[in-house]
Amino acid sequence: MNQTRVLFKRMTDHPADSHTIDRYLETGGYEQARVALGRTRDELVELVKTSGLIGRGGAGFSAGMKWSFLAPARPAYLVVNGDESEPGTFKDRQLLERDPHQMVEGMIIAAVANEVHEAFVYIRGEYPKPARRVQQAVADAYERGFLGRDVMGTGYHLDITVHLGAGAYICGEETALLNSLEGRRGEPRLKPPFFPAAKGLYMLPTIVNNVETISNLPHIVERGIEWYRGLGHDVDTGTFLFSVSGHVKKPGNYELPHGITWRQLIYDVAGGIRDDNELKAWVPGGASAPWFVPSEHLDLEITKSVTDSSGSMLGSGAVIVMDETTDMVAAAERLVRFFAEESCGQCTPCREGTTWLDMILRRMLDGGGRAVDLDLLYDVSDNISVGVGWPPKQTTICPLGPSAVSAVKSLLEYFRPEAEAHIVRANRVPVTIKGFGQ
């Protein structure tokens, strides 16, 4: 199955130097920024709205709508979310490393559209190489007059600052990211009232967009709405970057249209399961998403609406494939542990609940499982995410706590016998009695 390369095109065509300003300019770079500088906010917001561009950060909200909500107070800020940390996701890293100017140009377009003169790129601390590439791109853009006091001679002022995180998954949540950028603990803010479009960075109107979302902008400006919509599938316009990992033969980032099936993605695109093993389950949209299983979901179309209605989400586009050899309790524990370790600790159910879930799962893995533990796992989950449904009815401030529940819910829903077997096995571990030899 062929990829539809838009965001990945330049780096595919020019692998050795797609990150340089010379190559970028040689392939038409920064022309769309110039076009955008000649347009009004309304025109650009309308363009992006009509293009159907959905934010690629995981929440799946229309980027144009998000822009249109920007409150009138000024200054306004633009923050690009490059805190890619959702387990299974590594697409932004590739965009940042291999085609940073594509994002910088997208930022100029987003800045003009939102009357922003000061923009930030927040890149996770574990990505120093992508950060260096972006920093170099920004410096080159300043040098060429694409950034600074007088962008491309238009008098428009735009500064971009690259900000490095320091190891906190939760900063991928946009309000936590803003706190972090303000020099605070990366704790999510309350929504309401702190919607970034009204009260964002320094309590001023702020647009937060994901790297991939922003990287789409030059292409939409260049080739228009029709072309962009045509790339996609129905309401899911444009291409979509899938990060496929786990037990597949060909893991990697793939740029694809929506609308193919999971079977096509896993077997055709990613080459099928390693050692030709059986597929056991996969996480369709990053570690936060409830799992899919072949018996129910393999032939579903990959679209936002189908995925949502099937009880999961496309999220960040990370597909984590697990084969028959996988111990599902261990996999669930590893996912829950991630969220427990990355919980900011602000709110009670996430701080205490995710940790408790992980303790129970670990105890089960260590042979200390009890018959009541599965019901306890469910009920603790229920106190984090009422009804343990999807989308979650969360008791938490942000979706991190319910993300931990996804794995537990999936384990109990699809692999309960396996989990029970763990407990039975655990209880059969013989007690060593002194004097009876080994």
Query: Does the protein bind another protein through residue 271 (CB under 8 A)?
Result: no
Is the distance from CB of 83 to CB of 123 less than 8 angstroms? yes
Strand residue runs (E) in 236-369: 239-246, 252-257, 279-283, 318-323
Q: Minimum CB separation from another protein for residue 221, in Å?
A: 24
- Chain centroid, CA 22 distance in Å: 30
Q: Minimum CB separation from another protein for residue 62, in Å?
A: 18
Is the distance from CB of 317 to CB of 91 less than 8 angstroms? yes
When binding is defined by CB under 8 A, the residue of 215, 245, 312, 403 that contacts another protein is 245
Residues in 247-266 at the binding interface with another protein, rule: CB under 8 A: 247, 251-253
Query: Does the protein bind another protein through residue 386 (CB under 8 A)?
Result: yes
Q: Minimum CB separation from another protein for residue 124, in Å?
A: 7
Query: Does the protein bind another protein through residue 24 (CB under 8 A)?
Result: no
**Residue 264 vs 326, nearer CB to another protein:** 326
Q: Which two tokens stand for residue 208?
A: 């937060």
**Residues facing 385 on adjacent strands:** 394
Residues in 334-373 at the binding interface with another protein, rule: CB under 8 A: 334-335, 338, 340-349, 351-356, 359-360, 363, 372
**Residue 137 vs 214, nearer CB to another protein:** 137
Could you tell me which of 176, 167, 67 has the C-alpha nearest to residue 123? 167
d(CA 250, CA 309): 28
Could you tell me which of 276, 272, 260, 355 has the C-alpha nearest to residue 317? 260
Is the distance from CB of 120 to CB of 44 less than 8 angstroms? no
When binding is defined by CB under 8 A, the residue of 33, 279, 287, 404 that contacts another protein is 287
d(CA 121, CA 341): 25
Rg (CA), the chain: 23
Residues in 1-20 at the binding interface with another protein, rule: CB under 8 A: 11, 15-19
Residues 6+ apart with CB under 8 A from 258: 232, 233, 234, 236, 240, 301, 302, 303, 304
Query: Does the protein bind another protein through residue 212 (CB under 8 A)?
Result: no
**Residue 68 vs 395, nearer CB to another protein:** 395
Q: Please tell me the number of Cα atoms within 13 Å of 359 on its side-chain side.
A: 8
**Residues facing 243 on adjacent strands:** 253, 318
Residues in 150-189 at the binding interface with another protein, rule: CB under 8 A: 159, 161-169, 180-187
Q: Minimum CB separation from another protein for residue 419, in Å?
A: 17
Q: Minimum CB separation from another protein for residue 213, in Å?
A: 17
When binding is defined by CB under 8 A, the residue of 32, 51, 81, 85 that contacts another protein is 85
Q: Minimum CB separation from another protein for residue 411, in Å?
A: 13
Binding to another protein by CB under 8 A, coded x per residue (else -) over 113-142, reads: -----x-----xxxxxx-xx--x--xx--x
Query: Does the protein bind another protein through residue 84 (CB under 8 A)?
Result: yes
CA dihedral sign of residues 84, 89, 94, 100: negative
d(CA 385, CA 382): 5
Query: Does the protein bind another protein through residue 391 (CB under 8 A)?
Result: no
**Residue 62 vs 326, nearer CB to another protein:** 326
**Residue 187 vs 236, nearer CB to another protein:** 187
Residues in 399-428 at the binding interface with another protein, rule: CB under 8 A: none
Virtual torsion, Cα 116, 80, 68, 185, nearest 10 deg: -100
Q: Which residue is associated with the tokens 């930030």?
A: 120
When binding is defined by CB under 8 A, the residue of 32, 51, 81, 89 that contacts another protein is 89
Could you tell me which of 303, 222, 227, 323 has the C-alpha nearest to residue 262? 303
When binding is defined by CB under 8 A, the residue of 31, 382, 418, 420 that contacts another protein is 382
Query: Does the protein bind another protein through residue 148 (CB under 8 A)?
Result: yes
Region of residue 237 (phi > 0: left; psi between -120 and 50: alpha; otherwise: beta) = beta
Could you tell me which of 36, 66, 78 has the C-alpha nearest to residue 221? 36
Size of the site for another protein (CB under 8 A): 108
**Residue 229 vs 247, nearer CB to another protein:** 247
Q: Minimum CB separation from another protein for residue 226, in Å?
A: 30
When binding is defined by CB under 8 A, the residue of 239, 288, 307, 396 that contacts another protein is 396
When binding is defined by CB under 8 A, the residue of 97, 173, 174, 236 that contacts another protein is 97
